[in-house]
Amino acid sequence: QVQLVESGGGLVQAGGSLRLSCVASGMFVEINTMGWYRQGPGLQRDLVATIGSGGTTNYIDSVKGRITISRDAYNTIDLQKNTLRPEDTGVYYCKVELRRPYGPWRDYWGQGTQVTVSA
């Protein structure tokens, strides 16, 4: 069994900062790409940023310069969010591509953490 647990969401004023974390636990052999996705009210779930196993990062244009994605060597991914805007509001989900013993690569999702940015 693999679990992803996110933390760090909350209510913040525009211009403020938040740091989200996601920890993968359970039995797995290797983690490849890790990422954060956002689902705004009434919207689909969209990519925010990813980081590969070698540290290569990818950001959507609207968050470049304001958000930094990072990971440790084992099972944790963070998202540092600065200069927050009301349009950053939504539920943030982490997604991890990993491989369990003797199993194929597949994606796992966390349960989501709410971020609300007030104007």
Q: Tell me the per-residue pLDDT of 28-69, one tens digit each, with 9 for 90 and over.
A: 999 999 999 999 989 999 999 999 999 999 999 999 999 999
What is the reported pLDDT for 73?
Answer: 82
Beta bridge partners of 49: 36, 59
Phi then psi dihedrals of residue 116, to 5 deg: -125, 125
pLDDT recorded at residue 93: 97
The predicted pLDDT at position 81 comes to: 92
| Confidence grade of residue 109 (pLDDT, cut at 50, 70, 90) | very high
| 35, 56 Cβ separation under 8 angstroms | no
Q: Mean pLDDT of all residues in the chain?
A: 95
pLDDT score for 74: 86
3: confidence class by pLDDT, cuts 50, 70, 90: very high
Question: Longest Cα pair distance anywhere in the chain, in angstroms?
Answer: 49
* pLDDT for the residue 1: 87
